[in-house]
Amino acid sequence: MRVLLYTVIYCLMPLHSVFAQNDEKPKVIILTTGGTIASRTDAPLIEGPALVQAVPQLADYADVRVEEVVRIGSSQMTPAIWLRILRRIDELARTEPDLACILITHGTDTMEETAFFLNLTHRHEVPIVITGSMRSANALSADGPANLVDALRAGIAPGARGKGVMVVLNDNIHAARDLTKSDNQRLQTFLPTERGYLGFVDDEQVTFYRTPEQRHTLDSPFDVVNAEALPEVDILKDFAGLDPAILEFFRKRKTDGLVLETFAGGRSSAALRSVTSLPDDHKPIVIASSLRGSRIMGTHPEGTPVIVANDLPANKARILLMLALTRTKDVEEIQGYFDTY
Ligand code: ASP
**Nearest atom of ligand 1 to the alpha carbon of 75:** 9
Predicted local distance difference test score (pLDDT) of residue 5:
52
**Nearest atom of ligand 1 to the alpha carbon of 36:** 7
Closest CA to 334 of 314, 307, 310, 304: 307
User: Which of 36, 41, 45, 106 is the best mutation target for the ligand 1 pocket, counting ligand atoms within 8 Å of the beta carbon and taking the most?
Assistant: 36
Asked whether the beta carbons of 178 and 193 are under 8 A apart, the reply is yes
Which SS3 state, helix, strand or coil, does residue 235 take?
Answer: strand
The response to whether residue 76 sits with its C-beta less than 6 Å from ligand 1 reads no
The response to whether residue 109 sits with its C-beta less than 6 Å from ligand 1 reads yes
What's the gap in Å between 303 CA and the centre of ligand 1?
42
- CATH class of the region 25-219: alpha beta
The response to whether residue 1 sits with its C-beta less than 6 Å from ligand 1 reads yes
Which SS3 state, helix, strand or coil, does residue 172 take?
Answer: strand
How is the chain split among helix, strand and coil, in percent rounded to 5? 30, 25, 45
Which SS3 state, helix, strand or coil, does residue 31 take?
Answer: strand
What's the gap in Å between 324 CA and the centre of ligand 1?
28
How far apart CA 176 and CA 20 sit, in angstroms, is 32
Predicted local distance difference test score (pLDDT) of residue 20:
92
How far apart CA 159 and CA 101 sit, in angstroms, is 12
Whether 233-340 and 25-219 are alike in CATH topology: the answer is yes
Q: Whose CA is nearest to atom 1 of ligand 1?
A: 1
List, in sequence order, every residue forming a beta bridge with 31; answer none if it has no partner.
67, 104
Asked whether the beta carbons of 98 and 71 are under 8 A apart, the reply is no
Kindly give the confidence (pLDDT) of every residue in the chain, 341 residues in length, as a single tens digit, with 9 standing for 90 and above: 444 555 556 655 788 899 999 989 999 999 999 999 999 999 999 999 999 999 999 999 999 999 999 999 999 999 999 999 999 999 999 999 999 999 999 999 999 999 999 999 999 999 999 999 999 999 999 999 999 999 999 999 999 999 999 999 999 999 999 999 999 999 999 999 988 999 999 999 999 999 999 999 999 999 999 999 999 999 999 999 999 999 999 999 999 999 999 998 888 888 888 898 999 899 999 999 999 888 887 777 788 999 999 999 999 999 999 999 999 999 999 999 999 99
Which SS3 state, helix, strand or coil, does residue 123 take?
Answer: coil
User: Which of 75, 76, 188 is the best mutation target for the ligand 1 pocket, counting ligand atoms within 8 Å of the beta carbon and taking the most?
Assistant: 75
Asked whether the beta carbons of 1 and 134 are under 8 A apart, the reply is yes
Predicted local distance difference test score (pLDDT) of residue 329:
95
Half-sphere exposure of 27 (CA within 13 A, CB side): 12
**Nearest atom of ligand 1 to the alpha carbon of 35:** 4
Predicted local distance difference test score (pLDDT) of residue 153:
98
The response to whether residue 36 sits with its C-beta less than 6 Å from ligand 1 reads yes
Find how far residue 3's CA is from the centre of its chain.
21
> What contacts 190, CB < 8 A, 6 or more positions away?
108, 111, 112, 167, 169, 170, 172, 174, 179, 180, 181, 182
pLDDT digits 0-9 by tens, 36-86: 999 999 999 999 999 999 999 999 999 999 999 999 999 999 999 999 999
Indicate the fold that domain 233-340 takes in CATH: Rossmann fold (3.40.50)
The response to whether residue 134 sits with its C-beta less than 6 Å from ligand 1 reads yes
Asked whether the beta carbons of 105 and 37 are under 8 A apart, the reply is yes
The single-letter code of the amino acid at 90 is D
**Nearest atom of ligand 1 to the alpha carbon of 4:** 1
| Catalytic residue ranges | 36
Closest CA to 4 of 69, 99, 74, 106: 74
> What contacts 18, CB < 8 A, 6 or more positions away?
49, 52, 53, 64, 65, 66
The response to whether residue 79 sits with its C-beta less than 6 Å from ligand 1 reads no
> What contacts 248, CB < 8 A, 6 or more positions away?
none
pLDDT digits 0-9 by tens, 167-203: 999 999 999 999 999 999 999 999 999 889 999 999 9
Q: What is the CA radius of gyration of the chain?
A: 20
The response to whether residue 73 sits with its C-beta less than 6 Å from ligand 1 reads yes
pTM over 0.85: yes
How far apart CA 264 and CA 110 sit, in angstroms, is 22
The response to whether residue 144 sits with its C-beta less than 6 Å from ligand 1 reads no
Q: Any idea where the domains of the chain sit in the sequence? A: 25-219, 233-340
Predicted local distance difference test score (pLDDT) of residue 273:
86
